[in-house]
Protein backbone atom coordinates (compact mmCIF):
# COMPACT_ATOMS: atom_id res chain seq x y z
CA UNK A 1 0.00 0.00 0.00
CA UNK A 2 2.81 2.36 0.91
CA UNK A 3 4.49 1.81 -2.48
CA UNK A 4 1.21 2.40 -4.30
CA UNK A 5 0.68 5.65 -2.39
CA UNK A 6 4.22 6.75 -3.26
CA UNK A 7 3.71 5.90 -6.93
CA UNK A 8 0.42 7.80 -7.00
CA UNK A 9 2.07 10.88 -5.49
CA UNK A 10 5.02 10.63 -7.86
CA UNK A 11 2.73 10.38 -10.91
CA UNK A 12 0.79 13.45 -9.78
CA UNK A 13 4.04 15.40 -9.42
CA UNK A 14 5.29 14.21 -12.78
CA UNK A 15 2.07 15.10 -14.61
CA UNK A 16 2.59 18.75 -13.69
CA UNK A 17 5.73 18.60 -15.87
CA UNK A 18 3.57 17.77 -18.91
CA UNK A 19 2.15 21.31 -18.97
CA UNK A 20 3.30 23.82 -21.58
CA UNK A 21 5.31 25.71 -18.94
CA UNK A 22 8.01 23.11 -19.56
CA UNK A 23 9.99 22.74 -22.79
CA UNK A 24 9.06 20.09 -25.34
CA UNK A 25 12.11 17.84 -24.74
CA UNK A 26 11.45 17.76 -21.01
CA UNK A 27 7.76 16.93 -21.52
CA UNK A 28 8.68 14.07 -23.86
CA UNK A 29 11.12 12.53 -21.37
CA UNK A 30 8.63 12.78 -18.52
CA UNK A 31 5.89 11.22 -20.68
CA UNK A 32 8.22 8.33 -21.49
CA UNK A 33 8.92 7.72 -17.79
CA UNK A 34 5.21 7.81 -16.98
CA UNK A 35 4.44 5.20 -19.65
CA UNK A 36 7.37 2.88 -18.82
CA UNK A 37 6.73 -0.52 -17.23
CA UNK A 38 9.42 -0.01 -14.61
CA UNK A 39 8.42 2.91 -12.36
CA UNK A 40 11.84 3.16 -10.68
CA UNK A 41 13.27 5.98 -12.88
CA UNK A 42 10.04 7.97 -12.41
CA UNK A 43 10.12 7.51 -8.63
CA UNK A 44 13.80 8.48 -8.38
CA UNK A 45 13.18 11.61 -10.50
CA UNK A 46 10.06 12.82 -8.66
CA UNK A 47 9.82 11.30 -5.17
CA UNK A 48 11.15 14.52 -3.65
CA UNK A 49 12.41 17.98 -4.56
CA UNK A 50 16.15 18.25 -5.12
CA UNK A 51 17.00 19.91 -1.84
CA UNK A 52 18.70 23.29 -1.83
CA UNK A 53 20.90 22.65 1.17
CA UNK A 54 23.60 24.64 2.90
CA UNK A 55 26.00 23.76 0.06
CA UNK A 56 23.52 24.48 -2.73
CA UNK A 57 22.35 21.75 -5.11
CA UNK A 58 23.92 18.54 -6.37
CA UNK A 59 22.26 15.72 -8.25
CA UNK A 60 21.92 13.62 -11.38
CA UNK A 61 21.03 15.58 -14.50
CA UNK A 62 17.67 15.00 -16.14
CA UNK A 63 13.99 15.98 -15.93
CA UNK A 64 12.25 15.84 -12.58
CA UNK A 65 11.96 17.60 -9.25
CA UNK A 66 14.85 15.53 -7.87
CA UNK A 67 17.17 16.20 -10.79
CA UNK A 68 19.53 18.93 -11.98
CA UNK A 69 17.83 20.73 -14.88
CA UNK A 70 17.03 24.27 -16.01
CA UNK A 71 13.96 24.38 -13.76
CA UNK A 72 15.60 23.27 -10.50
CA UNK A 73 18.56 25.55 -11.29
CA UNK A 74 16.12 28.31 -12.15
CA UNK A 75 14.18 27.98 -8.89
CA UNK A 76 17.41 28.03 -6.87
CA UNK A 77 18.59 31.16 -8.64
CA UNK A 78 15.26 32.96 -8.36
CA UNK A 79 15.14 32.21 -4.64
CA UNK A 80 18.71 33.45 -4.18
CA UNK A 81 17.95 36.59 -6.20
CA UNK A 82 14.88 37.31 -4.07
CA UNK A 83 16.94 36.99 -0.89
CA UNK A 84 19.76 39.18 -2.21
CA UNK A 85 17.29 41.94 -3.01
CA UNK A 86 15.97 41.68 0.53
CA UNK A 87 19.39 41.48 2.23
CA UNK A 88 20.97 44.30 0.19
CA UNK A 89 17.92 46.49 -0.33
CA UNK A 90 19.95 49.66 0.31
CA UNK A 91 22.53 48.97 -2.43
CA UNK A 92 21.98 50.84 -5.70
CA UNK A 93 23.36 47.84 -7.65
CA UNK A 94 23.65 44.30 -6.36
CA UNK A 95 26.19 42.17 -8.24
CA UNK A 96 27.13 38.49 -8.44
CA UNK A 97 29.86 36.44 -10.12
CA UNK A 98 28.92 33.30 -12.07
CA UNK A 99 31.28 30.50 -13.05
CA UNK A 100 31.12 26.88 -14.18
CA UNK A 101 33.17 23.74 -14.77
CA UNK A 102 33.53 21.49 -17.84
CA UNK A 103 30.54 19.24 -17.16
CA UNK A 104 27.80 18.61 -19.67
CA UNK A 105 25.19 21.40 -19.37
CA UNK A 106 27.42 23.50 -17.09
CA UNK A 107 27.73 26.39 -19.56
CA UNK A 108 23.99 26.23 -20.29
CA UNK A 109 23.13 26.31 -16.58
CA UNK A 110 25.59 29.17 -15.93
CA UNK A 111 24.06 31.29 -18.70
CA UNK A 112 20.58 30.62 -17.31
CA UNK A 113 21.79 31.68 -13.85
CA UNK A 114 23.24 34.92 -15.26
CA UNK A 115 20.01 35.59 -17.19
CA UNK A 116 17.81 35.10 -14.12
CA UNK A 117 19.96 37.38 -11.96
CA UNK A 118 19.96 40.08 -14.65
CA UNK A 119 16.18 39.71 -15.12
CA UNK A 120 15.90 40.53 -11.42
CA UNK A 121 17.98 43.71 -11.79
CA UNK A 122 21.16 42.10 -10.42
CA UNK A 123 24.43 42.57 -12.31
CA UNK A 124 26.06 39.28 -13.26
CA UNK A 125 29.77 38.90 -14.00
CA UNK A 126 29.86 35.74 -16.11
CA UNK A 127 33.14 33.97 -16.89
CA UNK A 128 33.74 33.56 -20.62
CA UNK A 129 34.31 29.80 -20.25
CA UNK A 130 35.06 27.18 -17.58
CA UNK A 131 37.26 28.15 -14.62
CA UNK A 132 38.49 26.59 -11.36
CA UNK A 133 36.05 26.95 -8.47
CA UNK A 134 38.57 28.91 -6.33
CA UNK A 135 38.80 31.60 -9.02
CA UNK A 136 35.05 32.16 -8.69
CA UNK A 137 35.57 32.73 -4.96
CA UNK A 138 38.46 35.10 -5.73
CA UNK A 139 36.38 37.02 -8.31
CA UNK A 140 33.56 37.64 -5.82
CA UNK A 141 35.99 39.39 -3.49
CA UNK A 142 37.93 41.14 -6.27
CA UNK A 143 34.78 42.57 -7.88
CA UNK A 144 33.06 43.45 -4.59
CA UNK A 145 30.09 41.20 -5.34
CA UNK A 146 27.40 40.36 -2.84
CA UNK A 147 27.15 36.72 -3.92
CA UNK A 148 28.21 34.20 -6.51
CA UNK A 149 27.25 30.90 -8.08
CA UNK A 150 29.41 28.15 -9.49
CA UNK A 151 27.91 25.37 -11.58
CA UNK A 152 29.86 22.25 -10.69
CA UNK A 153 29.51 18.78 -9.19
CA UNK A 154 33.16 18.70 -8.16
CA UNK A 155 34.54 15.16 -8.50
CA UNK A 156 31.20 13.35 -8.86
CA UNK A 157 30.57 10.98 -11.79
CA UNK A 158 29.66 12.44 -15.19
CA UNK A 159 25.89 12.02 -14.66
CA UNK A 160 25.95 14.69 -11.94
CA UNK A 161 25.96 18.45 -11.85
CA UNK A 162 25.67 20.94 -9.03
CA UNK A 163 25.12 24.51 -7.89
CA UNK A 164 27.35 26.13 -5.27
CA UNK A 165 26.19 29.40 -3.75
CA UNK A 166 28.64 31.92 -2.24
CA UNK A 167 28.32 35.02 -0.09
CA UNK A 168 30.09 38.38 -0.29
CA UNK A 169 33.23 37.14 1.48
CA UNK A 170 33.79 34.53 -1.25
CA UNK A 171 32.86 31.63 1.04
CA UNK A 172 30.06 29.14 0.64
CA UNK A 173 27.02 30.21 2.59
CA UNK A 174 26.47 29.55 6.31
CA UNK A 175 23.97 30.83 8.90
CA UNK A 176 21.93 32.92 8.91
CA UNK A 177 21.99 33.31 5.13
CA UNK A 178 21.79 29.58 4.37
CA UNK A 179 18.40 29.10 6.05
CA UNK A 180 17.07 32.39 4.68
CA UNK A 181 18.04 31.44 1.12
CA UNK A 182 16.57 27.95 1.51
CA UNK A 183 13.29 29.50 2.64
CA UNK A 184 13.23 31.78 -0.40
CA UNK A 185 14.05 28.88 -2.74
CA UNK A 186 11.28 26.78 -1.19
CA UNK A 187 8.87 29.65 -1.75
CA UNK A 188 9.23 29.24 -5.54
CA UNK A 189 6.18 27.11 -6.23
CA UNK A 190 5.95 27.13 -10.03
CA UNK A 191 7.95 27.77 -13.19
CA UNK A 192 5.95 30.98 -13.59
CA UNK A 193 7.72 32.40 -10.51
CA UNK A 194 11.10 32.25 -12.30
CA UNK A 195 12.28 35.19 -14.44
CA UNK A 196 14.17 33.43 -17.22
CA UNK A 197 14.38 36.35 -19.71
CA UNK A 198 17.68 38.08 -19.02
CA UNK A 199 18.78 41.69 -19.41
CA UNK A 200 21.97 41.69 -21.54
CA UNK A 201 22.89 45.14 -20.20
CA UNK A 202 23.39 43.65 -16.75
CA UNK A 203 25.63 40.75 -17.86
CA UNK A 204 29.38 41.41 -18.14
CA UNK A 205 31.75 38.77 -19.47
CA UNK A 206 35.02 38.34 -17.54
CA UNK A 207 38.06 36.16 -18.16
CA UNK A 208 41.77 36.67 -18.86
CA UNK A 209 42.27 39.77 -16.68
CA UNK A 210 40.79 37.96 -13.69
CA UNK A 211 43.04 34.97 -14.41
CA UNK A 212 46.14 37.13 -14.24
CA UNK A 213 45.07 38.80 -10.99
CA UNK A 214 44.43 35.40 -9.43
CA UNK A 215 47.76 33.96 -10.57
CA UNK A 216 49.63 37.02 -9.31
CA UNK A 217 47.99 36.67 -5.89
CA UNK A 218 48.92 32.97 -5.75
CA UNK A 219 52.54 33.75 -6.65
CA UNK A 220 52.63 36.00 -3.59
CA UNK A 221 52.25 32.91 -1.36
CA UNK A 222 55.67 31.55 -2.32
CA UNK A 223 58.12 31.35 0.59
CA UNK A 224 61.14 29.87 -1.21
CA UNK A 225 61.71 31.49 -4.63
CA UNK A 226 65.49 31.11 -4.27
CA UNK A 227 65.11 27.41 -3.50
CA UNK A 228 62.87 26.94 -6.54
CA UNK A 229 65.47 28.64 -8.72
CA UNK A 230 68.01 25.99 -7.68
CA UNK A 231 65.52 23.14 -8.28
CA UNK A 232 63.43 24.59 -11.08
CA UNK A 233 63.96 21.57 -13.33
CA UNK A 234 62.12 19.14 -11.02
CA UNK A 235 60.08 16.82 -13.23
CA UNK A 236 56.45 17.51 -12.41
CA UNK A 237 53.69 15.51 -14.12
CA UNK A 238 50.32 17.28 -13.97
CA UNK A 239 46.84 16.15 -15.04
CA UNK A 240 43.59 18.13 -14.82
CA UNK A 241 41.62 14.89 -15.42
CA UNK A 242 39.72 16.65 -18.26
CA UNK A 243 38.78 19.50 -15.92
CA UNK A 244 39.19 23.22 -15.38
CA UNK A 245 42.69 23.03 -13.87
CA UNK A 246 44.19 22.99 -17.35
CA UNK A 247 43.37 26.71 -17.52
CA UNK A 248 45.57 27.84 -14.63
CA UNK A 249 47.62 25.14 -12.88
CA UNK A 250 50.43 24.84 -15.48
CA UNK A 251 50.61 28.65 -15.66
CA UNK A 252 50.85 28.87 -11.88
CA UNK A 253 53.66 26.31 -11.72
CA UNK A 254 55.57 28.26 -14.37
CA UNK A 255 54.82 31.46 -12.49
CA UNK A 256 56.48 29.92 -9.43
CA UNK A 257 59.56 29.22 -11.52
CA UNK A 258 59.21 25.54 -12.40
CA UNK A 259 60.34 24.79 -15.95
CA UNK A 260 59.81 21.05 -16.40
CA UNK A 261 56.02 20.55 -16.36
CA UNK A 262 54.99 17.36 -18.12
CA UNK A 263 51.43 17.01 -19.40
CA UNK A 264 49.19 13.97 -19.79
CA UNK A 265 48.00 15.06 -23.21
CA UNK A 266 44.87 12.86 -23.36
CA UNK A 267 43.62 14.29 -20.07
CA UNK A 268 44.35 17.92 -21.01
CA UNK A 269 41.22 17.73 -23.20
CA UNK A 270 38.31 19.33 -21.29
CA UNK A 271 35.31 16.98 -21.32
CA UNK A 272 32.24 16.45 -19.19
CA UNK A 273 32.33 12.78 -20.17
CA UNK A 274 35.75 12.30 -18.50
CA UNK A 275 36.55 9.68 -21.17
CA UNK A 276 39.81 8.28 -19.76
CA UNK A 277 38.61 7.58 -16.19
CA UNK A 278 35.76 5.76 -14.48
CA UNK A 279 35.52 8.57 -11.93
CA UNK A 280 37.32 11.95 -12.11
CA UNK A 281 38.36 11.84 -8.48
CA UNK A 282 42.10 12.33 -7.82
CA UNK A 283 41.90 10.48 -4.52
CA UNK A 284 41.33 7.27 -6.50
CA UNK A 285 44.40 5.46 -7.83
CA UNK A 286 42.54 4.61 -11.05
CA UNK A 287 42.04 8.31 -11.86
CA UNK A 288 45.78 8.87 -11.44
CA UNK A 289 46.85 5.84 -13.50
CA UNK A 290 47.64 7.67 -16.73
CA UNK A 291 49.63 10.33 -14.88
CA UNK A 292 51.58 7.64 -13.01
CA UNK A 293 52.32 5.86 -16.31
CA UNK A 294 53.68 9.13 -17.68
CA UNK A 295 55.72 9.63 -14.49
CA UNK A 296 57.30 6.20 -14.88
CA UNK A 297 58.10 6.99 -18.50
CA UNK A 298 59.93 10.23 -17.67
CA UNK A 299 61.07 9.31 -14.11
CA UNK A 300 59.16 12.23 -12.62
CA UNK A 301 59.86 13.64 -9.15
CA UNK A 302 56.22 14.46 -8.45
CA UNK A 303 52.76 13.73 -9.85
CA UNK A 304 49.95 16.20 -9.14
CA UNK A 305 46.34 16.39 -10.26
CA UNK A 306 43.23 18.47 -9.80
CA UNK A 307 39.62 17.32 -9.90
CA UNK A 308 37.17 18.64 -12.54
CA UNK A 309 36.52 21.99 -10.85
CA UNK A 310 40.13 22.25 -9.64
CA UNK A 311 39.46 22.74 -5.96
CA UNK A 312 40.89 19.36 -4.81
CA UNK A 313 44.47 18.21 -5.22
CA UNK A 314 45.76 14.71 -5.91
CA UNK A 315 49.40 13.76 -5.34
CA UNK A 316 51.67 10.80 -6.10
CA UNK A 317 55.28 10.50 -4.89
CA UNK A 318 58.13 8.01 -5.11
CA UNK A 319 58.68 5.84 -2.06
CA UNK A 320 62.07 4.68 -0.78
CA UNK A 321 62.01 1.79 -3.29
CA UNK A 322 61.39 4.16 -6.19
CA UNK A 323 57.75 3.07 -6.60
CA UNK A 324 55.03 5.65 -7.19
CA UNK A 325 52.51 5.78 -4.32
CA UNK A 326 49.38 7.85 -3.77
CA UNK A 327 49.54 10.44 -0.99
CA UNK A 328 46.26 10.51 0.93
CA UNK A 329 44.32 13.65 1.82
CA UNK A 330 45.50 13.70 5.42
CA UNK A 331 49.12 13.47 4.31
CA UNK A 332 48.64 16.29 1.79
CA UNK A 333 47.33 18.61 4.51
CA UNK A 334 49.99 17.38 6.95
CA UNK A 335 52.89 18.00 4.55
CA UNK A 336 51.66 21.41 3.36
CA UNK A 337 50.91 22.72 6.85
CA UNK A 338 54.23 21.37 8.13
CA UNK A 339 56.00 23.22 5.31
CA UNK A 340 54.16 26.49 5.90
CA UNK A 341 54.70 26.39 9.68
CA UNK A 342 58.33 25.25 9.50
CA UNK A 343 59.30 27.59 6.66
CA UNK A 344 57.71 30.59 8.36
CA UNK A 345 59.73 29.70 11.46
CA UNK A 346 62.94 29.42 9.40
CA UNK A 347 62.31 32.85 7.89
CA UNK A 348 61.64 34.40 11.30
CA UNK A 349 58.07 35.27 10.34
CA UNK A 350 56.32 33.71 13.34
CA UNK A 351 55.18 36.28 15.91
CA UNK A 352 52.96 34.05 18.07
CA UNK A 353 49.85 35.45 16.41
CA UNK A 354 49.46 32.81 13.69
CA UNK A 355 46.88 30.06 13.33
CA UNK A 356 45.95 27.09 11.18
CA UNK A 357 42.64 25.28 10.67
CA UNK A 358 41.71 21.66 10.12
CA UNK A 359 38.42 19.80 10.12
CA UNK A 360 37.41 17.47 12.95
CA UNK A 361 37.90 14.38 10.76
CA UNK A 362 41.43 15.34 9.68
CA UNK A 363 44.53 13.82 11.33
CA UNK A 364 45.38 14.88 14.87
CA UNK A 365 49.12 14.83 14.03
CA UNK A 366 48.62 18.34 12.69
CA UNK A 367 47.83 19.60 16.19
CA UNK A 368 51.12 18.17 17.47
CA UNK A 369 53.03 20.15 14.86
CA UNK A 370 51.09 23.33 15.62
CA UNK A 371 51.66 22.97 19.37
CA UNK A 372 55.40 22.45 18.82
CA UNK A 373 55.54 25.68 16.82
CA UNK A 374 53.36 27.67 19.25
CA UNK A 375 50.72 28.11 16.57
CA UNK A 376 47.02 28.07 17.43
CA UNK A 377 44.95 25.39 15.73
CA UNK A 378 41.21 25.54 15.16
CA UNK A 379 39.03 22.48 14.58
CA UNK A 380 35.92 22.95 12.48
CA UNK A 381 33.28 20.95 10.68
CA UNK A 382 33.91 19.26 7.34
CA UNK A 383 33.63 21.70 4.43
CA UNK A 384 35.63 24.77 3.53
CA UNK A 385 32.81 27.13 4.41
CA UNK A 386 33.72 26.37 8.03
CA UNK A 387 37.42 27.03 7.47
CA UNK A 388 36.37 30.28 5.78
CA UNK A 389 34.23 31.10 8.80
CA UNK A 390 37.27 30.80 11.10
CA UNK A 391 39.23 33.06 8.73
CA UNK A 392 36.41 35.61 8.84
CA UNK A 393 36.32 35.56 12.64
CA UNK A 394 40.07 36.21 12.77
CA UNK A 395 40.14 38.92 10.09
CA UNK A 396 42.61 41.65 11.11
CA UNK A 397 43.17 39.82 14.44
CA UNK A 398 45.56 36.96 13.63
CA UNK A 399 47.49 35.66 10.60
CA UNK A 400 46.18 32.62 8.76
CA UNK A 401 48.89 30.22 7.58
CA UNK A 402 46.75 27.55 5.98
CA UNK A 403 44.01 25.04 6.45
CA UNK A 404 42.73 21.81 5.01
CA UNK A 405 40.64 18.69 5.24
CA UNK A 406 41.24 15.01 4.67
CA UNK A 407 39.15 15.03 1.49
CA UNK A 408 42.06 16.41 -0.56
CA UNK A 409 41.28 20.08 -0.03
CA UNK A 410 43.72 22.80 1.03
CA UNK A 411 43.67 26.60 1.24
CA UNK A 412 46.83 28.63 1.78
CA UNK A 413 45.38 32.09 1.22
CA UNK A 414 42.71 34.50 2.40
CA UNK A 415 42.09 36.24 -0.94
CA UNK A 416 40.07 33.13 -1.84
CA UNK A 417 37.71 31.43 0.61
CA UNK A 418 37.32 27.94 -0.83
CA UNK A 419 39.74 25.06 -1.27
CA UNK A 420 42.20 25.76 -4.05
CA UNK A 421 44.21 23.22 -6.02
CA UNK A 422 45.93 25.94 -8.05
CA UNK A 423 47.78 27.34 -5.02
CA UNK A 424 48.01 23.92 -3.30
CA UNK A 425 49.72 22.28 -6.30
CA UNK A 426 52.11 25.22 -6.65
CA UNK A 427 53.02 25.00 -2.96
CA UNK A 428 53.32 21.22 -3.11
CA UNK A 429 55.95 21.58 -5.84
CA UNK A 430 57.69 24.25 -3.75
CA UNK A 431 57.60 21.93 -0.72
CA UNK A 432 59.38 19.22 -2.71
CA UNK A 433 62.01 21.74 -3.85
CA UNK A 434 62.53 22.72 -0.18
CA UNK A 435 62.90 19.06 0.79
CA UNK A 436 65.46 18.54 -1.98
CA UNK A 437 67.33 21.59 -0.74
CA UNK A 438 67.55 19.84 2.61
CA UNK A 439 68.75 16.59 1.04
CA UNK A 440 65.42 14.81 1.43
CA UNK A 441 63.07 12.99 -0.90
CA UNK A 442 59.34 13.61 -0.43
CA UNK A 443 58.97 10.27 1.35
CA UNK A 444 61.88 10.98 3.69
CA UNK A 445 60.34 14.34 4.54
CA UNK A 446 57.03 12.63 5.37
CA UNK A 447 58.76 9.94 7.42
CA UNK A 448 60.68 12.56 9.39
CA UNK A 449 57.38 14.20 10.33
CA UNK A 450 56.14 10.89 11.69
CA UNK A 451 59.38 10.25 13.60
CA UNK A 452 59.18 13.69 15.20
CA UNK A 453 55.46 13.91 15.92
CA UNK A 454 54.25 10.29 16.01
CA UNK A 455 52.94 7.99 13.33
CA UNK A 456 49.31 8.11 12.24
CA UNK A 457 47.46 6.19 9.57
CA UNK A 458 44.07 7.11 8.22
CA UNK A 459 41.46 5.47 6.03
CA UNK A 460 38.22 6.89 4.71
CA UNK A 461 35.43 4.45 3.89
CA UNK A 462 32.24 5.44 2.07
CA UNK A 463 29.24 3.14 2.20
CA UNK A 464 27.03 4.09 -0.77
CA UNK A 465 23.27 3.74 -0.44
CA UNK A 466 21.52 5.47 -3.40
CA UNK A 467 17.87 6.44 -3.73
CA UNK A 468 15.08 6.77 -1.18
CA UNK A 469 15.68 3.36 0.37
CA UNK A 470 19.35 4.22 0.73
CA UNK A 471 18.60 7.51 2.46
CA UNK A 472 16.36 5.66 4.92
CA UNK A 473 19.08 3.06 5.57
CA UNK A 474 21.71 5.74 6.26
CA UNK A 475 19.37 7.43 8.72
CA UNK A 476 18.81 4.10 10.48
CA UNK A 477 22.56 3.45 10.69
CA UNK A 478 23.20 6.80 12.38
CA UNK A 479 20.32 6.16 14.79
CA UNK A 480 21.80 2.78 15.71
CA UNK A 481 25.31 4.18 16.27
CA UNK A 482 23.83 6.73 18.68
CA UNK A 483 21.72 4.20 20.53
CA UNK A 484 24.41 1.50 20.66
CA UNK A 485 27.89 3.09 20.64
CA UNK A 486 30.80 0.61 20.51
CA UNK A 487 32.41 -0.15 23.85
CA UNK A 488 35.79 -0.93 22.27
CA UNK A 489 37.40 -0.76 18.84
CA UNK A 490 40.29 -2.99 17.75
CA UNK A 491 40.64 -4.15 21.34
CA UNK A 492 41.01 -0.66 22.82
CA UNK A 493 38.24 0.75 25.07
CA UNK A 494 36.27 3.72 23.79
CA UNK A 495 37.01 6.47 26.33
CA UNK A 496 35.23 9.43 24.77
CA UNK A 497 32.22 9.98 22.49
CA UNK A 498 31.50 13.29 20.76
CA UNK A 499 28.05 13.85 19.28
CA UNK A 500 27.90 17.02 17.21
CA UNK A 501 24.15 16.70 16.74
CA UNK A 502 23.66 17.31 20.47
CA UNK A 503 26.99 19.15 20.88
CA UNK A 504 27.90 16.86 23.76
CA UNK A 505 31.19 15.22 24.66
CA UNK A 506 30.90 12.28 27.02
CA UNK A 507 33.78 10.82 29.02
CA UNK A 508 33.05 7.10 29.29
CA UNK A 509 35.30 6.47 32.31
CA UNK A 510 34.14 9.34 34.48
CA UNK A 511 30.63 9.59 33.09
CA UNK A 512 30.87 13.38 32.77
CA UNK A 513 29.32 15.23 29.83
CA UNK A 514 30.36 18.66 28.61
CA UNK A 515 29.23 20.93 25.79
CA UNK A 516 31.18 21.18 22.55
CA UNK A 517 32.00 24.71 21.41
CA UNK A 518 30.79 24.75 17.81
CA UNK A 519 28.69 27.35 15.97
CA UNK A 520 25.90 24.92 15.05
CA UNK A 521 24.99 21.26 15.20
CA UNK A 522 26.03 18.63 12.65
CA UNK A 523 25.12 14.98 12.16
CA UNK A 524 28.56 13.63 13.12
CA UNK A 525 29.62 11.05 15.70
CA UNK A 526 33.19 10.53 16.94
CA UNK A 527 34.67 7.76 19.07
CA UNK A 528 38.08 8.11 20.72
CA UNK A 529 39.87 5.05 22.10
CA UNK A 530 42.38 4.62 24.89
CA UNK A 531 45.22 3.91 22.44
CA UNK A 532 44.67 7.17 20.53
CA UNK A 533 42.45 6.03 17.67
CA UNK A 534 39.75 8.39 16.35
CA UNK A 535 36.73 7.15 14.40
CA UNK A 536 34.27 9.61 12.86
CA UNK A 537 30.92 8.78 11.26
CA UNK A 538 28.80 11.15 9.17
CA UNK A 539 26.34 11.02 6.28
CA UNK A 540 27.57 12.93 3.23
CA UNK A 541 25.82 16.24 2.67
CA UNK A 542 26.14 16.02 -1.12
CA UNK A 543 26.16 12.32 -2.04
CA UNK A 544 24.10 9.20 -1.18
CA UNK A 545 26.64 7.74 1.21
CA UNK A 546 27.63 7.43 4.85
CA UNK A 547 31.30 8.13 5.56
CA UNK A 548 33.62 6.57 8.11
CA UNK A 549 36.95 8.21 8.95
CA UNK A 550 39.38 5.96 10.81
CA UNK A 551 42.64 7.25 12.29
CA UNK A 552 44.97 4.99 14.31
CA UNK A 553 48.29 5.84 15.92
CA UNK A 554 51.60 4.01 16.07
CA UNK A 555 55.28 4.38 16.92
CA UNK A 556 58.19 5.30 14.64
CA UNK A 557 61.64 5.74 16.19
CA UNK A 558 63.43 6.01 12.83
CA UNK A 559 62.60 6.12 9.11
CA UNK A 560 63.38 2.40 8.98
CA UNK A 561 60.32 1.74 11.16
CA UNK A 562 57.91 3.20 8.58
CA UNK A 563 56.73 -0.05 6.93
CA UNK A 564 56.45 -1.82 10.27
CA UNK A 565 54.32 1.01 11.67
CA UNK A 566 52.24 1.07 8.49
CA UNK A 567 51.55 -2.69 8.57
CA UNK A 568 50.56 -2.56 12.25
CA UNK A 569 48.23 0.37 11.60
CA UNK A 570 46.56 -1.35 8.64
CA UNK A 571 45.90 -4.42 10.78
CA UNK A 572 44.38 -2.22 13.47
CA UNK A 573 42.17 -0.45 10.91
CA UNK A 574 40.88 -3.79 9.67
CA UNK A 575 39.99 -4.70 13.25
CA UNK A 576 38.12 -1.39 13.62
CA UNK A 577 36.23 -2.08 10.39
CA UNK A 578 35.21 -5.48 11.63
CA UNK A 579 33.98 -4.03 14.92
CA UNK A 580 31.94 -1.40 13.07
CA UNK A 581 30.57 -3.90 10.57
CA UNK A 582 31.80 -2.02 7.49
Cα 311 from Cα 132, distance rounded (Å): 7
- Map residue 579 onto helix, strand or coil: helix
Q: Is 348 left (phi over 0), alpha (psi -120 to 50) or beta?
A: left
Residue 229 exposure: Cα atoms within 13 Å on the Cβ side: 4
E strands present in 145-206: 147-151, 160-167, 203-206
Helix (H) or strand (E) holding 251: helix 249-256
Are 96 and 77 in contact by the 8 Å Cβ rule? The answer is no
Q: Which residues of 441-469 are buried (b: 16+ CB within 10 A; e: fewer)?
A: bbbbbbbbbbbebbbbbbbbbebebeeee
Long-range contacts of 180-183 (CB under 8 A, 24+ apart): 180/83, 180/87, 181/52, 181/79, 181/80, 181/83, 182/52, 182/53, 182/54, 182/79
Cα 360 from Cα 551, distance rounded (Å): 12
Helix (H) or strand (E) holding 315: strand 313-318
- Map residue 283 onto helix, strand or coil: coil
**Catalytic-residue membership of 154:** yes
Are 143 and 95 in contact by the 8 Å Cβ rule? The answer is yes
- How many other CB atoms are there within 10 angstroms of residue 312's CB atom? 28
Cα 170 from Cα 287, distance rounded (Å): 29
Cα 520 from Cα 567, distance rounded (Å): 38
The residue from 154, 306, 426, 533 that is catalytic is: 154
Phi, psi of 407 (to 5 degrees): -85, 40
Contacts with 150 (C-beta within 8 Å, 6 or more apart), sequence order: 98, 99, 100, 101, 133, 136, 163, 164, 166, 309
The residues that bridge with 356 in the sheet, in sequence order, are: 377, 402
Cα 22 from Cα 74, distance rounded (Å): 12
- How many other CB atoms are there within 10 angstroms of residue 51's CB atom? 15
Long-range contacts of 250-254 (CB under 8 A, 24+ apart): 251/211, 251/215, 252/215, 252/218, 252/219, 252/422, 252/423, 252/425, 252/426, 253/425, 253/426, 253/429
* Separation in Å, CA 483 to CA 361, 465, 477, 479, 575: 21, 21, 10, 6, 22
| Active-site residue set | 154
Amino acid sequence: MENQELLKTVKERAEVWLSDQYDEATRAEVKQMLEAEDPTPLIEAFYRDLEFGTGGLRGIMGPGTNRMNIYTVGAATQGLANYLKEAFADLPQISVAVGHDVRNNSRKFAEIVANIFSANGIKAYLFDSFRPTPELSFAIRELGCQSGVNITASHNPKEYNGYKAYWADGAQIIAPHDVNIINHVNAIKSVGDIKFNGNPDLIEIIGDKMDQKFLTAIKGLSLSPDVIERHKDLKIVYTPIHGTGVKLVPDSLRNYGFTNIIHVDEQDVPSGDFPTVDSPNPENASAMAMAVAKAKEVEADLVVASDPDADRIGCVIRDTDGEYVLVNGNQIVLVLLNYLMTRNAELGKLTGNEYIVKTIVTTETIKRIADANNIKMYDCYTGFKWIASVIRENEDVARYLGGGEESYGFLAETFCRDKDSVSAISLMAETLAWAKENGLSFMEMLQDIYVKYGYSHELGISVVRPGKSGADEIQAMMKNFRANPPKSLAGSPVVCVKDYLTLEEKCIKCGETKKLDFPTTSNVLQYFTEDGSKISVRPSGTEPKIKFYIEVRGQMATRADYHKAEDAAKAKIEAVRKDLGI
